[in-house]
Structure 1
Amino acid sequence: MNILHLSAAKNWGGGENHIEQLCLELKKIDRNSENTILCVRNAAFHNKIKNSSLQVESAPLKIKMDLRYAVKIIEVCKKRKIDLLHIHDTTALTLAVMATKLGDLPPFVLSKKTSFPIKDRSRTLYKYNHENIKRIFCVSKETQRIASKKIEDLAKLTTIYHGTSLDKKNSQYKNLRLEFEIPGDKIIVGTIANHIRAKNLDTWIDMIDSLVNQKKIYDFHFVLIGSHTNRTPDYINKLEKLGLQKHVNIAGFIENASALIPQFDISLLTSQSEGVPQFIYESFYHKVPVVSTNVGGIPEIIEDGFNGMLSNPYEPQSLADKLIALSQDKVLRNKFTERSYKKLIENFTTRKMAEQTLAEYKKVLYGTNGTGN
């Protein structure tokens, strides 16, 4: 069974981590399958994996509908005798559908990794309901519910949660307190999020403003790790106007950033839209308590008041209050982290994710029971 994974992402994020971890786990559990990743040449994902043990192909992608990438899909399918295409983002889906106009392709499976609704446009509906797509893997039940509104054949939809690897984690020797000169008495609140609309970093800033300028609470220091975008200058200007610079550090992209999570006292997410963030799984693994918005699939893995704290999106005051409450209750923090770790081990590992994905591959290629009978 030869699988070609398509990624058209140019940054590194949770979706790209998912592809890498899935392919590594599939290598362990099924020696009869070959997994190849086709990614954007010289983009962050390509640079991360091109010298790894994974099989990697690359193609240029200057515009979203770059014909060279579509042609490369066909070339790799022929060269590696691909049986199944696993598509990992919407741009890759567009390019795969384009490629069907240029040559015959094997069946598709598609990963739906966000809770964004499928837009009610003819071209978008066409590609999401393309006849080559045999399965759509939704990252959460909420993602599946939202997708079901625009997918014609609901039997194609299934939920496969992502997870984290239980293998030994990469060591990260960067000391955040030394690097950013954070006083020892400050509570480090860490966020790993690229500077994109879905992460809603305006609410992150408004929450800090609520704590510092309105409540006059100076106990926290906030560290934001993630790739900069064209939104970054506006975030920095807003922090400066509110006089919050000394309370935050915007670290930009850091490779293997999850290895820094053990230095966080609390993990924080202020997103307005999510699938299920890898950052939360990694915080569970490292036993760091989480305060988050209750968007996408997050309420499926965090129960408010049981193994973390949740707030509605766009409510900085509520997030601030929950952060204060959690920081003042060590017993509660310990309960949250132990419950979250147990939940992770039982439900959200990359091994379980890979086993479920492999079972779906076999259903598509060989029939319901994966044997061809």
Structure 2
Amino acid sequence: MKILHVNGARSWGGNEQQLLYLVRGLNSKGIEQALFCYHKNPLLDIFKEDEIKIFNVAYKKPYSFDFLKKFSAVVKSYAPDIIHVHTGNFLTGYVLADLFYGLAPKVVLSKKGISRNMSFLSKFKYNYRKIDKIICVSERVKDDLEHVISLKNKSKLEIVWDGVTWENWEPISLKSKYNLPEDAFIIGNIGNHTRSKDLKTLINTANYLINKKGYKNLYFFQIGHFSGLTAELKELVNDLNLNSNFFMLGFQENASSYFSAFDLFLMSSKKEGGPTSVLEAMIYKTPVVSTNVGVIPYAIRQAENGFYAEVEEYEDLGDYIEKLYENEELREQFVEKSFHICKERFSVECLVQKTLDIYQNV
């Protein structure tokens, strides 16, 4: 079996981490694979030469004729059994390339995120007749897609949760690096500066705990790519007098290594497909407080192995953090339960095997 993975990312995100896990897992099962991507795809800096065949092209809009010609040429020369499309922009490229050039392989699409809106083109491409299966990262992504998928295509939807694995990172000490007091309680967040991550709620939670409830030894560390929203977020931190307790570190390589430095992980997103970061917190035995998005209800059992609040409810998030801060025994109970749930439901082995089952069925 030959798989051509198609990924249109130009910066690192959870999707790329999952593709990395998938490729390496399929390699261990003897599956031949190739990757079609842009020159600046971050995976090119990670994959070793013997792991996967690479076809990379200079950046062009995926609906440009130059892109379509190059993509169709790669498909016809490599002749995969299955094209696995991992990003929405390259789904557009695939559909147009097939319309113009006619591509033979079966097609599997991975859908990771929740769409803000669906244009006529989006509805057309998700219902495209030659897509054989659509892998949804969570029940909520599937529910979101069912509004635009025609009745005859609903059977194409499958759910495969993200997978995570534990790696032995060198410990990081944020306390010494940032000269924090010995009793500092560090709350971490990992997510790029996008509207869906709702980092304003993260900042409002910090303000509620530090300035309104008086927990001056709480320190928030936020990791993720800066964007056009960053200046506004930094201004909010400054306006709320949180500069001494709230740190934005930007993108950090191997962000998972920071879990060893977090006493608690807080996710404030208002819209998610997964997210992988919460699952990573669980596998690294970091207590979790989150908004109720994506896969959270299937990963977190309320008050059994973590807490979740509704979107934007920063006071509820703060109150849950307070409960965990005040109760070390509860934190220990939560992380042990979360670790076992993660190993059982969200392992890389499950991700790889379920994806391979889908390949074999199509």
Aligned to 2:36: 38
Listed one character per residue, the Cα deviations across residues 309-329 of structure 1 (whole Å, up to 9, x for unaligned) are 101111111111111111111
Aligned to 2:106: 107
| Residue among 62, 65, 68 paired with 2:63 | 65
Q: How many residues align?
A: 359
AA in 2 matched with 1:113: K
- Evaluate the alpha carbon distance shift between residue 120 and residue 282 of structure 1 in structure 2; reply closer, same or farther with a 3 A threshold: closer
Listed one character per residue, the Cα deviations across residues 212-234 of structure 1 (whole Å, up to 9, x for unaligned) are 22222212100111111111111
Deviation at 1:68, TM superposition (A): 3.6
Aligned to 1:335: 333
The reply to whether residue 230 of structure 1 matches residue 228 of structure 2 is yes
Q: How does 1:281-296 map to 2 (within 5 A)?
A: 281-296=279-294
TM-score computed with the length of structure 1 as normaliser: 0.92
Deviation at 1:66, TM superposition (A): 4.2
Aligned to 1:369: none
Hey, what's the Cα distance between the residues in 1 that align with 2:315 and 2:301? 20
The reply to whether residue 11 of structure 1 matches residue 11 of structure 2 is yes
The reply to whether residue 154 of structure 1 matches residue 136 of structure 2 is no
Deviation at 1:143, TM superposition (A): 1.5
Q: What root-mean-square deviation, in Å, do the aligned CA atoms of Structure 1 and Structure 2 show?
A: 1.7
Aligned residues with identical type, % of pairs? 31
- Evaluate the alpha carbon distance shift between residue 223 and residue 39 of structure 1 in structure 2; reply closer, same or farther with a 3 A threshold: same
Structure 2: gaps (5+ residues): none
Q: How does 1:140-289 map to 2 (within 5 A)?
A: 140-152=138-150, 153-166=153-166, 169-289=167-287
Hey, what's the Cα distance between the residues in 1 that align with 2:161 and 2:123? 24
AA in 2 matched with 1:162: D
TM-score computed with the length of structure 2 as normaliser: 0.94
Deviation at 1:69, TM superposition (A): 3.4
- Evaluate the alpha carbon distance shift between residue 293 and residue 102 of structure 1 in structure 2; reply closer, same or farther with a 3 A threshold: same
Paired residue secondary structure (1:102): helix
Listed one character per residue, the Cα deviations across residues 128-165 of structure 1 (whole Å, up to 9, x for unaligned) are 00111110111112221221121111110111111113
Kindly report structure 1 stretches of 4+ aligned residues shifted beyond 4 Å: none
Paired residue secondary structure (2:22): helix
Aligned to 1:323: 321
Paired residue secondary structure (1:246): coil
Aligned to 1:371: none
Paired residue secondary structure (2:161): coil
Deviation at 1:6, TM superposition (A): 1.0
Paired residue secondary structure (1:101): helix
